[in-house]
């Protein structure tokens, strides 16, 4: 039996990808996570997370574990919010990440940190998505706070959070805009968001569908914020309306 834990990092920020982490290992190796002190990434300091991420990857390479971080990019997030809902996108992200660490010919027990208020429904939706790929887990447990209660999910939360933190550092270095954590309440994010909205369109790494982004755009430009959808629409449709005769 292989156990797969899945969690996400970066659901709330108004900038950057949402990262889905998945860790798969044989059931008899779970004790290694306990010995390593794996827990919810939010309980660890950044240097502790990075050290643990490196050790998880070392052990994974040594013992044939599966580790995957699947980024869901801002345009994809915006399209989901505008058209199908973020919960559905997170289900798809979980399915993709699980598929990456799946090992054919073995039974799999899934432990998921539920992104839906209805944890059971979230588990059913992930299982249904896997069935479309020809994957049938032996058991699915979806629960809230699984990252704190289940070490395998804690491991997934660590690799997802480390990937998110790395993206933030790279963005700051690349653009010179210190966004802090990227969360709407972060003073650093509040300070720079106007600069990221100063062009004819919002910065590509912003989540245009977030209320914070829309309000800031309205305040700066006096018009409704542009939208991004799966069809590629990047501005309000009314801008393309023919002039009235």
DSSP string covering 75-90, please? HHHHHHHHHT-HHHHH
CATH of span 2-169 = 3.30.420.10
Low pLDDT (below 70) residues in the chain: 232-245
Provide the sign of the torsion angle of the four alpha carbons 102, 127, 210, 183, taken in this order: negative
Domain boundaries, the chain: 2-169, 177-237
Q: What is the pLDDT of residues 84-100, one digit of tens each?
A: 889 999 999 999 999 99
Specify whether the CB–CB gap between 152 and 33 falls below 8 A.
yes
66-72 and 18-26 strand pairing? antiparallel
Digit-coded pLDDT (tens) for 119-141? 999 999 999 999 999 999 999 99
The pLDDT of residue 230 is 79
User: CB of 67 within 8 A of CB of 23?
Assistant: yes
* The model scores a pTM over 0.75: yes
Using DSSP, state whether 86 is helix, strand or coil.
Answer: helix
């Amino acid at each position: 039996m292989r156990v797969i834990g899945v969690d996400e990092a970066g659901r709330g920020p108004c900038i950057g990808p949402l990262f889905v982490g998945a860790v798969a290992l044989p059931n008899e190796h779970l004790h290694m996570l306990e010995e390593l002190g794996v827990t919810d990434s939010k309980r660890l300091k950044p240097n502790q997370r990075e050290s643990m991420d490196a050790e998880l990857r070392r052990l994974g390479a040594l013992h044939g574990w599966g580790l995957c971080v699947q980024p869901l990019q801002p345009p994809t997030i915006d399209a989901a919010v505008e058209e199908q809902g973020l919960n559905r996108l997170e289900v798809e992200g979980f399915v993709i990440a699980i598929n990456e660490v799946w090992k054919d010919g073995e039974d799999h027990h899934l432990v998921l940190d539920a992104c839906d208020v209805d944890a059971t429904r979230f588990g059913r939706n992930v299982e249904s998505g896997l069935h479309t790929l020809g994957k049938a887990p032996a058991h699915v447990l979806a629960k809230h706070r699984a990252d704190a209660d289940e070490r395998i999910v804690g491991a997934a939360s660590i690799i997802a959070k480390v990937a998110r933190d790395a993206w933030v550092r790279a963005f700051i270095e690349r653009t010179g805009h210190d966004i802090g954590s990227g969360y709407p309440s972060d003073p650093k994010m509040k300070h720079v968001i106007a600069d990221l909205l100063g062009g004819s369109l919002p910065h590509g790494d912003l989540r245009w569908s977030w209320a914070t982004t829309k309000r800031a755009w309205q305040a700066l430009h006096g018009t409704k914020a542009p939208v991004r959808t799966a069809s590629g629409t990047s501005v309000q449709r009314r801008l393309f309306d023919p002039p009235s005769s």
